[in-house]
Structure 1
Amino acid sequence: MGSTERPVALPDVVVTNLHRRYTGVSATVRALVPLQRQDLSIGLLDWGGLGLPAQVRWGQLLRQGWSRPSRGRCRVWHARRDIEIACGIVLKKLLKQPWKILFTSAAPKPPGRFLATLLRNCDAVIATSERSAAYLDYPAEVIYHGVDVDHYSPLDGDCLATLRQPVDLSGVVVPSKLQGLYWVGAFGRLRPSKGTDLLVEALIKVLPEFPDFGAVFTGLCQAKDMAFFEIMQKKISAAGLSERIVFLGDLNREQVLACYRRILLCVAASRTEGFGLTPLEAMACGRAVLVSGAGIWPQVVDDEVGSSFETGSTDSLIIVLRRLLADPDLLWRMGKHGRQRMVEQYSLEREAHKINALYGRLMS
């Protein structure tokens, strides 16, 4: 006997994640979609195994793509990568399905020729910062990335004294000498664009003056950057700081959260950055931040929540780092202000609401 189940209706919005590896874009989709679904019917076309329900399949798009949406006159195809725009264009232009194509742009540079061509076929563009919007030749709505302030949050009983207590990172080995120190933390890929080498150079200069501090780096180092990584390790070893400047590797989400909660200062030294979520996540955990002028950071970080240094300048980074490490109590107060700012102005719920509002305008 044939199945009597009715086919699942195609959602009004399809969000795409057409990448096998878990990236920053993947993390954004994974965090936003559950919140957005509280108000709208949203499906996910996913190659990356994000584990969210309501998956959309290509067969469903080809069978039901011409059907009438439940609200408005068109469905929304939300892309965050070039290939995802191209797929939306095929559905809309070639197959004549009723889609509005929305693209989120975070790049801190003008789009290349191929992306520029694709953007001319989009119905709307979200820029994650004013800087990203300025590089586009197309009108864009600026919607900042938000932070999950419920997940990224301080522990109960969080205080300055607890930050020098040992932390369990579930199998990640932390040198015993480092466990009893305040931590400076850096998060994200280990590569030149992230300014990892700038921070290592600065720490080698500054940490001997501050015996109560050590530093941890988390993040993946790809094979192409391994020589870069090995040079930094040799410099750290030559300075006698191998137990105070430690690379913890590519950690999972819970391990990264534990590191955010353990540090006293988060440093983001990127030479270039699309948006730059890690300092905001650290702020949501109640931690002070020191940032370059890349990404969204000049719009978010001021003297109340942290400090900044001249992008690409090790000398500038050393000067500011030295000033901040001299006053742990100041860093603690900055972190408390940072937490408040994230909750009030940069929550994930706020981002989800703004994107859903844009969906509604496109559909109608």
Structure 2
Amino acid sequence: MRPLFISPLGRGGVDFGIQNITRAVRRTGLAPELLRLPELYNFLPMLIPATLPADIVRRFDIVQGRSRVAFSLRNYERPVVTTVHHLTTDPALQPYSSFAQRLFYRLVESRYDGLSIAYADAVVCVSRYTQRMVALTYGRRDTVLIYDGIDTDVFVPPPGMARRNDGLPPSDARIRLLFVGNRTRRKGFDLLPQIMDRLPADYALYYTGGFQGRDTGPPHPRMIPIGSPDRAGLVAAYQSCDILLFPSRLEGFGIAPAEALACGRPVVTTNVAALPEVVDDGLNGFLVARDDVAGYAEKVRILGEDAALRRRFGEHGREKVVAKFAYGPLGKGFRQLYARLLGRDDD
């Protein structure tokens, strides 16, 4: 079985998601190919057939794309699989989107998602939360749950689990927090300075640059930018922090929390959307009500002042991610789906 993944370049977790799917499917013994297209095709996916010669697709058994583009792949006489990572029409997202974004989501992207979800031979959702939203919004209830996955052979704890790596800029801080994501309101970036105001002076927060949001310099004296690290740099950052602080207001899955847990780091995040499927409150992290600045600070301090608790949470998180969100379950899920669509034995 040879799946072809067609994915325009993106600016967030969805872009990493398709790379993870490709790697995971390849590890099952299949021969997938990932075809990257210019970013323009995220906005005008109907142009893909005019750009992509049909004979390319016919060398493969399955064609797959995210829900923003998959509807344009339906005329290649191959089963179409689409992945839904999150719906931008989710009412929970609207307060944190600009007017222009809401207009685009409503008039354009919701139509693309709806067409892809309606036309695809199989619709894969990356969390139970996303499954529920697809059923509520578009009425399709035969979706397949395959959680997003990460490479747990790469995202690993440092030797000794609780020891730090040296992958962050020097600091005199006793406790190092890390935020990974875009500098947007959806990710809760605007809450970080308020949370830091409530934490002791020997706590520092390192944060990534991401692809979205304006970089106007650190918004707090104890916030330290680390740019946009590559995968190796990101692993080093996780290994070098004590806690991932992730006050996101909406996630279709939660790649950053899963990566942090895989690296043996506890997570303080929000009790919304799919995040409770990744983080187990009181076992590998803490879940806080959306926008509860005092609550985030309180949970960070509990972990910051208890090294044994951080270690215990980190060990539990690592075990959970390996069992549920590693490349093994991800690749197996897609291989079984392809076999079913093609009427073949999954051998």
Please say whether Structure 1 and Structure 2 have the same fold, judged by a TM-score greater than 0.5.
yes
**1:33 paired to 2:22:** yes
Instruction: Count the aligned residue pairs.
Output: 308
Question: 1-side partners of 2:143 and 2:199: how far apart?
Answer: 42
**Matched residue type, 2:111:** R
Larger radius of gyration: 1
Change (3 A) 1:205 1:221: farther
**1:79 paired to 2:65:** yes
Q: 3-state DSSP class of the match of 2:82? A: strand
**1:63 paired to 2:65:** no
Question: 2-side partners of 1:221 and 1:14: how far apart?
Answer: 26
Change (3 A) 1:29 1:58: farther
**Matched residue type, 2:204:** G
**Residue in 2 aligned with 1:299?**
277
Question: 1-side partners of 2:228 and 2:56: how far apart?
Answer: 41
Aligned with residue 255 of structure 1, among 220, 233, 239: 233
Question: 1-side partners of 2:56 and 2:249: how far apart?
Answer: 45
**Residue in 1 aligned with 2:318?**
339
Q: CA deviation at 1:12?
A: 3.3
What pairs up with 1:88-237 in 2 under 5 angstroms? 88-89=73-74, 92=75, 97-108=76-87, 109-110=89-90, 112-136=110-134, 137-138=139-140, 139-159=142-162, 162-163=163-164, 167-168=166-167, 174-178=169-173, 181-208=174-201, 211=202, 213-220=203-210, 222=212, 225-226=213-214, 230=216, 233-234=218-219, 236=220
What pairs up with 1:301-340 in 2 under 5 angstroms? 301-302=279-280, 303-340=282-319
Q: What is the identity percentage for the equivalent residue pairs of Structure 1 and Structure 2?
A: 23
Q: CA deviation at 1:22?
A: 5.7
Q: CA deviation at 1:48?
A: 6.3
**1:270 paired to 2:260:** no
Contact 1:65 1:98 in 2 (8 A): no
Change (3 A) 1:30 1:221: closer
C-alpha RMSD of matched pairs (Å): 2.6
Q: CA deviation at 1:119?
A: 2.1
Task: Output the TM-score relative to the length of structure 2.
Answer: 0.80
**Matched residue type, 2:126:** T
Listed one character per residue, the Cα deviations across residues 223-252 of structure 1 (whole Å, up to 9, x for unaligned) are xx32xx54x845x2xxxxx2x321212122
Contact 2:5 2:34 in 1 (8 A): yes
Question: 2-side partners of 1:114 and 1:32: how far apart?
Answer: 22
Question: 2-side partners of 1:351 and 1:100: how far apart?
Answer: 19
Question: 2-side partners of 1:59 and 1:318: how far apart?
Answer: 50
Structure 1 residues not aligned, in runs of 5+: 1-10, 50-56, 70-74, 237-241
Question: 1-side partners of 2:259 and 2:38: how far apart?
Answer: 23
Contact 2:71 2:115 in 1 (8 A): no
**Residue in 2 aligned with 1:72?**
none
Change (3 A) 1:322 1:39: same
**Residue in 2 aligned with 1:8?**
none
Question: 2-side partners of 1:48 and 1:60: how far apart?
Answer: 12
**Residue in 1 aligned with 2:105?**
none
Change (3 A) 1:319 1:66: closer
Q: Which moved more, 1:36-45 or 1:150-159?
A: 36-45
Listed one character per residue, the Cα deviations across residues 78-122 of structure 1 (whole Å, up to 9, x for unaligned) are 111423x13312xx2xxxx42111110011555723421332111
